[in-house]
Chains A and B, each alone.
Chain A
Amino acid sequence: MNASDLAPSYDLVVIGGGPAGLAAAALAARAGLSTVLFDENPGVGGQIYRAITSSPVKDRAILGEDYWAGAELAAEATASGALIVNGATVWSLDPARLVGVSIAGQARLIQAGRVIIATGSLERPFPIPGWTLPGVMSAGGAQTALKAQGLVPSGRTVLAGGGPLLWLLAAQILRAGGKLDVILDTTPRRNWLRALAHLPDFMLSPYFSKGLKLLREVKAQVRVIRTDRIEAVGDDKLREVVFDVGDEERRMPADLLLLHQGVVPNVNLAMAAGVTHAWNARQLCFEPVLDEWFTSSVPGIAVAGDGAGIAGGTAAVERGRIAAIAAVRALRPEASVPDAQVIRQKLQREEIGRPFLDWLNRPADALRQPEGETIVCRCEEVTAKQVRDTADLGCEGPNQMKSFLRCGMGPCQGRLCGLTVTELIAAQRGMTPADVGYYRLRPPVKPITLAELASLPIAEAERKAVER
C-alpha cells in the first residue's frame, strides 16, 4: 500500500487500530461507508492487542485470553471491507477534517466526511530522580517487547508503580518465564478511603474477579514492597534502585527498572484539531469534551476508546461502535446499524468499576509533581526546579513555559512532560490544573521529514503559477 494508492477522500477516516478503531471501522464499513483505518504500527491491535496478528508468543496462556480476544476484532475489521493501512502515520488533522498522513515516506492530504480519533492512551509520566538513565524504561515499553518480539527482562529487574496494567504486565512477564526481583507498590494506602465507597460497583464489574486473580497470581511469586519514594541511581546506567520502607532507606542493585503509574488519554491529535478538552479531576488528566455519541466540539470529529477518557480495552470496543453508528447515521441514514441502546448497556457494564479503580490507583502527588533536579522534559532536559522557579517568577501557563524553557518543544511534543508541567505550575501558583491548561498543541503531531512534506502532490493551481 502506497500513499498514492489512497483515494482523495473517504466517508470515514479512523485513526488508530486498537480496539476502538477496529470496532468502529468494522461497523462503519459493514454499513456501507467508505472507510479507511490508519494505524502507525506494523500490525493492528493498538497497545492492548499489540502484534495480535503476528505475535511470536504462541502459548495463549502467557498473554491471556483477554489478549487473544483481539484477534477476533482484527478479523472482523479485515472482513468488513474497511481499508486498513498499517505503517501509516497521521501527522495532522484540521477542523475541516483534512487528514495529513504519511506512508513509507510519502505524504498525502485526505479529506474525511467524518473522523474517529482512536489514538488511545499513553503511560502517565513517572518523573522520579534518575528516570532518564539507560536501564530505566516504561512498563508499557516492556510489554511491547514481550508482545511483539517475545522478549522478557533478564537480569535483576524491579517493577515499580501502580495501576491495573502493572499487575497484568507482571503476570505476563512471569508466565513467559521472565523474572521479577521485586515489585515496588507506590499506591498510597489512604486511597482506600476514597475508593471504598465505589467497591460495591466494582464488584459488579468484569474487572473484579480478573483483578483479584491477577493479584494473587503475582503476589504468590514476587515480593511486593509498599513505598512512597523511588530513585533510580547510577552514572552512565542504572546501578541500583533506592526506596523508602517506612522511615528506612533501602538500596537494591538492579539492571532494569520498569516504571508505570497508569495511563492517560493521548490528546495530541484531538487537541491539534481544535477539540475542546477539560480536566478530569478523578483521573488527573485532560480529556476531550464529548457528547453521548463521542462527538467532539469540532463537527464531524469523534474520539473513541481510551482517548475519550480511560476506561479500558473492552469499553473501547463499545465506544468505537457507538461513534461509528453516529457516523453512519450522519452519512448514510438509510443503512441498518446495530441497536445503540444494547451497546450502551454493555458499555455501562464495562465502565461500572472505573471510579473504584481510579480512586484506588490514583498516583501520589509526590510521584506526579517532582522537585529539584529531577528531569521533567526529557527532550530538552528541563528540571522540576526550573519549571517551579519559572512559575514563581510569574509564568502562568505551559505555553509561556515553553517559550522560557523550551520544555515540550522537542520531538515528543510534550507527551512525556505535558501533565507534569501543568501540575507543577498549578502547585506552585496555587491554581487548579483546569485553570492552568495544557500545551497548545500544533501539527505535525508526529514529526515528519522535510522530504515527506515535500512529497505532497503539487496542487494544480500551484503548478500553473510556477510554470507561468
Chain B
Amino acid sequence: MRTADVVIIGGGIHGCSTALHLALRGLKPILVEKDYAGRHASGVNAGGVRQLARDLAEIPLSIASMDLWERIEELVGDDCGFESHGTVLVAENDEELAGFKARVDDLRLKGFTHEELIDRAELKRLVPAVADHCPGGVVSRRDGAADPFITTQAFRRRAIEKGAEVLEGVAVTGLSKVGANWRVETSAGPIEAPQVVNAAGAWADRIAAMLGEPVPLTVVAPMLMVTSRVEPFIQPVVILRGRKLSFKQRDNGTVVIGGGHLATVDRDRNETVLDWNKLAISARTVWELFPVMRAATIVRAWAGIEAYMPDGIPVVGPSSTSEGVFHQFGFSTHGFQLGPGTGAMMAELVATGSTNTPIDGLKIERFLKA
C-alpha cells in the first residue's frame, strides 16, 4: 500500500504547482494523473498570464501568482517562455470605455492599482496595429504570456526533484475515509494519505460527488488557432470585452487567436470537435481589428478540455463535508495565470490549516444548497 502526506488528484498546472509547493514545505505528496501532466487545458491553453479584468474574489490570488511568475525561473528552473509585455483590454467604442473607467475607478477604491485606464494615444503607442476606431482601453502592465505545456512540465519536473511522486496514466476510481486517513482508490492500487487535494479540472465534479458535494460544473473546450509566422507587429496580449477575442503574437512570430468560442466536447473520450462557424467569427473580428493579419495563414486549431463554474470563478478551499480534503478546480477558462500562486496558497492551507491569502469568495459552499 502506497502512503503519502497528501494525494493530489490531477496533473494540470494547479496540481503540479500544489505538488511542488507541498514538497518545498517538506511534505511528501503523490500526484495522480489519468493521462499525462498538461494533457488538457493546462498544456494547450492560450498561455495568457493575465491579472487584467479578473473577478474581485480572485484578484488576491492573481496578484500572489504574478509575484511568482516574475521569478518563475528561480522557482521551477525553466523560464517557461514567460514574457511580460502587458495585457490590453481594447474598447471598441466610447460607451465601452466609460464602463472600463468605472471598473478601474472602483478597483482603485478597493486598493488595487494593477489596472490602468489608457486613452487613444497610449493605446496606439502600445498596440500600433489596432484599428483606428478604438478610443482607448485598460492596460495591466505586468501581465504577459508563457508557454503552457512547458510551464506545466517544469512544475511537474521540479516537484519530482523536490520529492513529490507523480503517477501518470493512473485514474482515481474511489475515495473513502479509513481511520484518520483518506483511501484513494486508483487504477494502480490504493493510496492512503491524511489529506487530499482535488485539482481534477474538468473531471473535478466527479471527485466532489464522491464526497457528497455535487457541483454544477460545466465541461467546456475553448477553441484556439495559431497562424504561421508573421512579421512582429504587436507586443502586449490584446483582449476584447464586447466580442470574444484574445490575441497575442509570440516571440517566434506566430499569432495565437482565442477568446472563448467553444468546441463540442466529450470528456470521457478526451475528444473535442471544433466549430468552424464560431472560429470564423474570431477570424472576422481579427480581420476588422488588425487589418495587417488578413493574409496570415492559419496552420492549426484546437481546444483544451476544462471546467466552467456558473459564476465563472473557481472553487478553492476546504471541502464542506470531508475534513482533510481541499478543492482547487473550476478555473473557468482563466486558470493558467493562477496556477503558481494558488498552488503556493493551497500548500500553505494544507500544511498549516490556514492561509493569509483571501479566498472567501471561492469556497464550494456557494454551490451547496442547505
Q: Do A and B come from one complex?
A: yes
B43 within 8 A of A: yes
Q: Report A63-105 CB contacts with B as 1/0, cut-off 8 Å.
A: 0000000000000000000000000000010111010100000
**Stretch from B52-60, B282-290, B360-368 contacting the other chain:** B282-290
Q: Is the CB of A444 within 8 A of B277?
A: no
Q: Is the CB of A411 within 8 A of B43?
A: no
A409 within 8 A of B: yes
Query: In the docked arrangement, what's the CA distance between A409 and B301, Å?
Result: 11
Q: Is the CB of A448 within 8 A of B280?
A: no
A134 within 8 A of B: no
A396 → chain B, closest Cβ, in Å? 7
A34 within 8 A of B: no
Taking each of A92, A450, A451, A454, which has the highest tally of chain B beta carbons within 10 Å of its own beta carbon? A450
Query: In the docked arrangement, what's the CA distance between A400 and B43, Å?
Result: 9
Choice from B38, B153, B228 contacting A411 with Cβ under 8 Å:
B228
Question: Which residues 212-269 of B have a CB within 8 angstroms of A?
Answer: 227-228, 252
Q: Report A193-236 CB contacts with B as 1/0, cut-off 8 Å.
A: 00000000000000000000000000000000000000000000
A177 → chain B, closest Cβ, in Å? 38
Query: In the docked arrangement, what's the CA distance between A429 and B18, Å?
Result: 30
Q: Is the CB of B298 within 8 A of A442?
A: no
Q: Is the CB of B300 within 8 A of A456?
A: no
Question: Which residues 20-57 of B have a CB within 8 angstroms of A?
Answer: 36, 38, 43
A459 within 8 A of B: yes
B293 within 8 A of A: yes
Q: Is the CB of A456 within 8 A of B280?
A: yes
Q: Is the CB of A454 within 8 A of B284?
A: yes
Question: Which residues 266-325 of B have a CB within 8 angstroms of A?
Answer: 271, 273-274, 276-277, 279-281, 283-284, 286-287, 293-302
Q: Is the CB of B300 within 8 A of A462?
A: no
Query: In the docked arrangement, what's the CA distance between A425 and B277, Å?
Result: 37
Query: In the docked arrangement, what's the CA distance between A462 and B243, Å?
Result: 12
Q: Is the CB of A442 within 8 A of B283?
A: no
Q: Is the CB of A444 within 8 A of B298?
A: yes
Q: Report A115-137 CB contacts with B as 1/0, cut-off 8 Å.
A: 00000000000000000000000
A138 → chain B, closest Cβ, in Å? 21
The interface residues of chain A lying within 8 Å CB-to-CB of B153 are 400, 403-404
B248 → chain A, closest Cβ, in Å? 15
The interface residues of chain B lying within 8 Å CB-to-CB of A459 are 277
Query: In the docked arrangement, what's the CA distance between A170 and B14, Å?
Result: 58
B82 within 8 A of A: no
Question: Nearest chain-A residue to B285 (Cβ)?
Answer: A454
Q: Is the CB of B276 within 8 A of A400?
A: no
Question: Nearest chain-A residue to B302 (Cβ)?
Answer: A442
Tell whether A450 pairs with B276 under 8 Å between CB atoms, given A274-B271, A411-B299. no
Choice from A95, A455, A458 contacting B273 with Cβ under 8 Å:
A95
Q: Is the CB of A396 within 8 A of B36?
A: yes
The interface residues of chain B lying within 8 Å CB-to-CB of A274 are 271, 273
Tell whether A462 pairs with B299 under 8 Å between CB atoms, given A454-B283, A454-B287. no
Q: Is the CB of A403 within 8 A of B43?
A: yes
B160 → chain A, closest Cβ, in Å? 10
The interface residues of chain A lying within 8 Å CB-to-CB of B36 are 396-397, 400
Tell whether A448 pairs with B273 under 8 Å between CB atoms, given A404-B150, A454-B287, A462-B281. no
Q: Is the CB of B273 within 8 A of A449?
A: no
Query: In the docked arrangement, what's the CA distance between A248 and B277, Å?
Result: 61
Q: How many residues of B contact A (CB 8 A)?
A: 32
B11 → chain A, closest Cβ, in Å? 13
Query: In the docked arrangement, what's the CA distance between A352 and B38, Å?
Result: 46
Q: Is the CB of A94 within 8 A of B228?
A: no
The majority secondary structure among interface residues of chain B is mixed
Q: How many residues of A contact B (CB 8 A)?
A: 34
Choice from A100, A404, A447, A451 contacting B276 with Cβ under 8 Å:
A100
B149 within 8 A of A: yes
Q: Report A396-424 CB contacts with B as 1/0, cut-off 8 Å.
A: 11001001101001110100000000000
A146 within 8 A of B: no
Query: In the docked arrangement, what's the CA distance between A412 and B10, Å?
Result: 33
Query: In the docked arrangement, what's the CA distance between A260 and B299, Å?
Result: 27
A434 within 8 A of B: no
Question: Nearest chain-A residue to B39 (Cβ)?
Answer: A399
Q: Is the CB of B273 within 8 A of A94?
A: yes
The interface residues of chain A lying within 8 Å CB-to-CB of B273 are 94-96, 274
Query: In the docked arrangement, what's the CA distance between A388 and B286, Å?
Result: 39
Tell whether A442 pairs with B301 under 8 Å between CB atoms, given A400-B36, A450-B296. yes
B35 → chain A, closest Cβ, in Å? 11
A36 within 8 A of B: no
Q: Is the CB of B299 within 8 A of A454?
A: no
Tell whether A450 pairs with B286 under 8 Å between CB atoms, given A396-B36, A403-B150. yes
Query: In the docked arrangement, what's the CA distance between A400 and B284, Å?
Result: 32
Query: In the docked arrangement, what's the CA distance between A358 and B43, Å?
Result: 39
Tell whether A92 pairs with B150 under 8 Å between CB atoms, given A442-B301, A449-B295, A451-B287. no
Query: In the docked arrangement, what's the CA distance between A443 and B299, Å?
Result: 8
Tell whether A443 pairs with B293 under 8 Å between CB atoms, given A450-B283, A450-B287, A453-B280. no
The interface residues of chain A lying within 8 Å CB-to-CB of B38 are 403
Q: Is the CB of A442 within 8 A of B300?
A: yes
Query: In the docked arrangement, what's the CA distance between A450 and B276, Å?
Result: 12
A109 within 8 A of B: yes
Q: Is the CB of A444 within 8 A of B300?
A: yes
Tell whether A449 pairs with B297 under 8 Å between CB atoms, given A95-B273, A100-B276. yes
Q: Report A427-468 CB contacts with B as 1/0, cut-off 8 Å.
A: 000000000000000111001111101111011001000000
Query: In the docked arrangement, what's the CA distance between A109 and B284, Å?
Result: 16
Query: In the docked arrangement, what's the CA distance between A274 and B270, Å?
Result: 11
Taking each of A396, A447, A453, A456, which has the highest tally of chain B beta carbons within 10 Å of its own beta carbon? A453
Q: Offer 15 A-B interface pairs, CB within 8 angstroms, sorted by A.
A: A107-B280, A403-B153, A409-B299, A411-B297, A442-B274, A442-B302, A443-B276, A444-B301, A449-B294, A449-B298, A450-B294, A450-B295, A451-B283, A453-B276, A458-B280
With A444-B300, A450-B295, A454-B294 known, 11 other A-B pairs at CB within 8 A are A98-B276, A274-B271, A400-B149, A409-B299, A409-B300, A411-B299, A442-B301, A443-B301, A448-B297, A453-B298, A456-B280
Q: Which 6 A-B pairs have the closest CB atoms?
A: A403-B149, A456-B280, A453-B283, A454-B283, A447-B297, A454-B284
